[in-house]
Structures are given as C-alpha cells and as structure tokens.
Amino acid sequence: MTITNKPTTTEQLSLAFELYHRIPKGRKVTAQQLQLELSHAGIERDIRTIQRNLDVVVQYLDVDKDTRNKPYGYSRELISQIVLGPRESIVLQLAKALVTDVLPTPLHYAVESAFQLILNHQHSYPGVQQPNGQSKKVNTNIDRSSYSEITELTSTFEPLSLALTYQRLISVTFINEHVIESIKPLGLVLSSDTFHLVYQHPNSEYDNLPLNQIKTVKVLTFHFDYPSSFQLSDYQIRHQTSLHAEPEDILINQ
C-alpha cells in the first residue's frame, strides 16, 4: 500500500503565490508555461496540480482566465497606469539594454518580460515619438569578451532568484562536485569578469563565489533572516580582491 503525503496548507499557499507572481500583466500565460517556469526554479509539480492551484488563484486574486481557446490563458489585471517622464523613460531603456548585454541569450526572455509592460505602455502617451522600423533610441556596446563564460547562469538564475527573493537557504554543487550545504544567499555582484554570489556561511562568516563555477543550486524550504548589519555595496568595496580571484583559488578556500 502506497502512502502519499498531502501538502500542508503552507506548501499549498506557497505554490499558489509562486504561480500568482509569475502570471504577467497585460499578456497571457498558459499552465504549461508556468509549469516549465516552476521547473526551472526547482519546483516540480504535475500539470493537474498547477491547474487546480490556478483555479484557486483565479477565484481569490486579480487574475483572469481566458477560456475561449485551449490551452487556457491566465493574466493579471492592469490596475493603474505607470507614468514616466522623458528622463526616466530613457533611463529605463538604457537599463534594459545594459542588462541584456551582460546576461546570456536564454535569459533575454526574462529581461523582455520585466521591461515590456512599462516600455510598451509608454508608447500610448500623447507626444511620444517612435523610431522608424526596428531602430532604438538607446544602445550599448559592452565588450563581452572581458567576461567569463556565464552560460551556467541560465540554469542557476531561476533558483537563485527564488532564494534571494524569499530568503531561502540553498545548497550549491560546484562543477568539480564539491558541495556547500545550507548557506544564506545575500546578493549578486557583477565584477569586471563574471557574476559572483555573496553568501553567509552557517558559521556566520561572509564569502563569495563565481557563478561560472556552480553546477547546480538547490533551494531549501528553510527561511532565514537577512543580516541587519550587512550591506552588499560595503562588502564589494572591502573584498575587491576576492571578487577577482581565480576559480581555483575560490574552490580551494571553500
């Protein structure tokens, strides 16, 4: 006889809010797409569980379910307009261009999703003049050859984002199979050559490691309180040398 453990109320609520936060405003997403996004974040659920929780989200939160065609589409309601002045509009476009330059191609969809709503909404404002064709009003020219290969960020970005946002402990496996258990992720730093994860050891010491040396990230269910005395910018200033250390040095010192 097989015994299955039913999810707790906390786990059900956590999944429902995970789904809610991944449903976009102004465009639709399907249950299958949400299932894939959750999988990338290390959350594995079957499609029926996803659909059942989406029905709950639709019933109680500001989410619309389009049942005119299958697969059904889900979207969050646009509650209010976002108004940006000319300066903020150009800064936003420049920020998008810079982020796109430093992230690997498979993550560009996330950049589009993050900026699309605001930038597209700007187009409807009176007096806003659009460039012809596919032309842009801002552009960047970052020499990506100065960065280490960061394709690994494609597979680690989702679980790291989840852990950083909800302050969850993580376990990290390096490409040499070395494992660090139960560390507190505190922030990401883009140095002159690659991304670094700044974290706190169980013994309360702070350290960092290059993302191009990480093979997998496992998000644990344990929440942690962010250290009140820690400032990521201060850490970066004090540890410029370690943020530029060779991968071999980083791995030896873990």
pLDDT in tens, 120-156: 655 555 555 555 555 566 667 666 655 555 555 677 8
- Pick the range with the lowest mean pLDDT from 54-58, 159-163, 240-244: 240-244
Higher pLDDT, 73 or 132: 73
Q: Provide the pLDDT for residue 33.
A: 94
- The predicted model scores a pTM of 0.60
Tens digit of pLDDT for each residue in 77-129? 766 556 666 777 778 878 888 888 878 777 787 888 777 766 665 555 555 55
Any idea where the domains of the chain sit in the sequence? 9-76, 86-120, 156-233
Fold that domain 156-233 belongs to in CATH: SH3 type barrels. (2.30.30)
Query: Given 3.40.50.970, 3.40.50.1820, 3.40.80.10, 1.10.10.10, which CATH number is that of 9-76?
Result: 1.10.10.10
Same fold, 9-76 and 156-233: no
Percent of the chain having pLDDT more than 70?
Answer: 72
Tens digit of pLDDT for each residue in 8-42? 777 778 888 889 988 988 789 999 999 998 888 88
Q: Provide the pLDDT for residue 181.
A: 93
Ordered DSSP codes for the chain? ----PPPPHHHHHHHHHHHHHHSPBSS-EEHHHHHHHHHHTT----HHHHHHHHHHHHHHSSEEEE-SSSSPEEEE---S-----HHHHHHHHHHHHHHHHHS-GGGHHHHHHHHHHHHHHHTTSTTPPPPSTT--S------GGGSPP-TTHHHHHHHHHHHHHHTEEEEEEETTS-EEEEEEEEEEEE-SSSEEEEEE-TTS-EEEEEGGGEEEEEEEEEE-PPPTT--HHHHHHHTTTGGG--HHHHHHT-
Q: Provide the pLDDT for residue 12.
A: 77
Q: Provide the pLDDT for residue 30.
A: 95
Label residue 1 by pLDDT band (50, 70, 90): very low
Q: Provide the pLDDT for residue 72.
A: 94
